[in-house]
Structure 1
Amino acid sequence: MRILVTGANGLVGSRTCLLLAEQGHEVVGLGRGERRVSGSWRYLPCELTREQEVSTLVAEAAPEAVIHCASMTEVDACERDPGLAFAANVEATAFVARASRRAGAHLVHVSTDYVFDGDAGPYDEEALPNPRGVYALTKHMGEQAARVLAPGCAIARTAVVYGWPAVAGRSNFGAWLVGVLAQGQPVRLFEDQLVSPSYAENVAAMVAELGLRRLGGVWNTCGAEVVNRVEFGRAVCEVFGFDAGLLVPVKMAELKLPAPRPLRSGLRTDKARRELHARPLALGESLARFHSDWRRERG
């Protein structure tokens, strides 16, 4: 199958390209600037906020499925520059969706649990979004653009994606946490925010399946367990052999962050566990794989 993946230099995008190529599919990855990840798939630089560029490259690739992983995910950066966030998360999604429809390709749009306010999580696929903050608002608007311009598309919501190695020039929560703990430094973690930590390779497997099977609708493609960030940190310490005494629980309100973040968040994965072959992984299994990646990379 011919599949185009955006955000090919990113955490989920690069893993999705690699997985699909290993499965024997013809993969074209689009990314900003030069290629920063290796793999036996074709890479093309593309600025997704330029509609003609997107339209031309998608038409030339003639994909049967498009998996749109690219996004501006830095929550505080989105709050500081709403125009840039709107261009990256809404306009670019609209351009990709429109080009996908013209190509007759099934679109999988990767979104986030931040579309919810965090008052009553964890959330299933039927829950009504209520985004707060620029990042959340633009991601929700991106979902609507995908639905309108690519009817029948899949909306794949994920959360707190982590993996090793981190992509070039960009860390992720899990990689950052391991890096700090490996140096024996204390780390402050939210004890009052519930999340669904998601291993990048597992997310890639689920969004790839949505594309290959041309499944539509909303899907929670994330880790199978909902924990607070301190609990996640303790689980990391147990698997990696770090000192859990380095974890310093804090309340989110204490840090006075620029952008709002959902507190009682997290996503329910009953639908994905019931209907997908690539099922959401339990936290223990995800961290075991994460640890194996870390040890292999360190030699």
Structure 2
Amino acid sequence: MRFLVTGSNGLVGSRVCALLEQGGHEVVGLARGPRRTVGNYRYVECDLTREQDVAAAIEAAAPEVIIHPASMTEVDACERDPEQAFAVNVMAVAAVARGAHKLGAHLVHVSTDYVFDGEHGPYDEQALPNPKGVYALTKHMGEQAARTFVPSCAIARTAVVYGWPAAGRANFGAWLVGALEKGQPVRLFEDQFVSASFADSVAAMLVELGERKLDGIWNTCGADVVSRVAFGRALCEVFGFDPGLLTPTRLADMKLASPRPLRSGLVVDKARSQLHSQPLPLAESLSRFHATWMAGRGA
């Protein structure tokens, strides 16, 4: 099959491209700036906020399936720059979805647990979103844009995606490992509960949604809902770091620019029952994360 993957320089997009290539598919990776990934798939430099460029790239690639992980994910940056957040998380989605609609291509759009307010989590696929803050609002609007042009698309919601090596800015897991490896103390939220998700696992679920052309909403994330500090303690145990470096803190004490949902975990029963690529328990995710970290160090 012919696939186009946006954000192919990023944490999830790069892994999606690698898995598709391993599966024998024809792949075109789309991203802003020069190529920063390895692989034999074709790469096209494209600013997704330029609709004409997106349309031309999609038409030239003629994909049967588009997987769209590209996003502006830095929550506080979205709050500070709502224009850019809207351009990337809404208008770019609409441009990609229009291209998919024109070709009759299946679309897998990657969204987030932040579409929920975090007051009644964890959430299943039937729960009603109630986004708070610019990032959350624009991601929810992006879901609607995808559905508007490709009603049969898949909406894949994930959460706190981490992996090694990092792509671009450090993800939560890579940042945590980097600090703890140096013996630096870190503060982690004890009152924010999340479905932390290993990037390789998320990529495998996205690939399956694309290959099988599945529609509807899917929670493609880690299987366990834990607080950020509990995640940190579990990571310390697997990596052999000192858990004494972790200081529990509360979200309200940090005075962050954008609101965060406190209980934003996702229920993965649907993915467990219907996907071959299963959501991973935290222990398994961290074991695989550790293995990639060790391999990256040449250990």
Q: For this structure pair, what is the TM-score category when the shorter chain's length is used for normalisation?
A: over 0.9
Q: How far apart are residue 132 of structure 1 and its match? A: 0.2
Match of 2:240 in 1: 241
Q: How far apart are residue 162 of structure 1 and its match? A: 0.2
Q: How far apart are residue 170 of structure 1 and its match? A: 1.1
Q: How far apart are residue 133 of structure 1 and its match? A: 0.1
In the TM superposition, what are the counterparts of 1:1-299 in structure 2 within 5 Å?
1-167=1-167, 169-299=168-298
Distance (whole Å) between structure 2 residues aligned to residue 149 and residue 132 of structure 1 = 25
Distance (whole Å) between structure 2 residues aligned to residue 251 and residue 170 of structure 1 = 24
Q: How far apart are residue 39 of structure 1 and its match? A: 1.4
Distance (whole Å) between structure 1 residues aligned to residue 139 and residue 5 of structure 2 = 18
The one-letter amino acid of 1:178's match is V
Q: How far apart are residue 38 of structure 1 and its match? A: 1.1
Identity of aligned residues (%): 70
Distance (whole Å) between structure 2 residues aligned to residue 241 and residue 104 of structure 1 = 50
Distance (whole Å) between structure 1 residues aligned to residue 101 and residue 275 of structure 2 = 24
Query: Which SS does the other structure have where 1:164 is aligned?
Result: coil
Structure 1 runs, 4 residues or longer, greater than 4 Å off: none
Provide the TM-score with structure 1 as the length reference.
0.99
Residues 159-192 of structure 1 deviation map (CA, whole Å, 9 limit, x = unaligned)? 000000001x311000000000000111000000
Q: How far apart are residue 265 of structure 1 and its match? A: 0.9
CA contact (8 A) 1:32 1:45 kept: yes
Distance (whole Å) between structure 2 residues aligned to residue 186 and residue 83 of structure 1 = 35
Distance (whole Å) between structure 2 residues aligned to residue 243 and residue 134 of structure 1 = 36
Residues 101-123 of structure 1 deviation map (CA, whole Å, 9 limit, x = unaligned)? 11111000000000000001000
What count of residue pairs does the alignment treat as equivalent?
Answer: 298
The one-letter amino acid of 1:285's match is E
Query: Which SS does the other structure have where 2:122 is aligned?
Result: coil
The one-letter amino acid of 1:184's match is G
Residues 215-262 of structure 1 deviation map (CA, whole Å, 9 limit, x = unaligned)? 000000000000000100001000000001110000000010000000
The one-letter amino acid of 1:22's match is Q
Provide the TM-score with structure 2 as the length reference.
0.99
CA contact (8 A) 1:49 1:88 kept: yes
Residues 67-108 of structure 1 deviation map (CA, whole Å, 9 limit, x = unaligned)? 001000000000000000000000000000000111111000
Unaligned runs of 5+ in 2: none
Q: How far apart are residue 150 of structure 1 and its match? A: 0.9
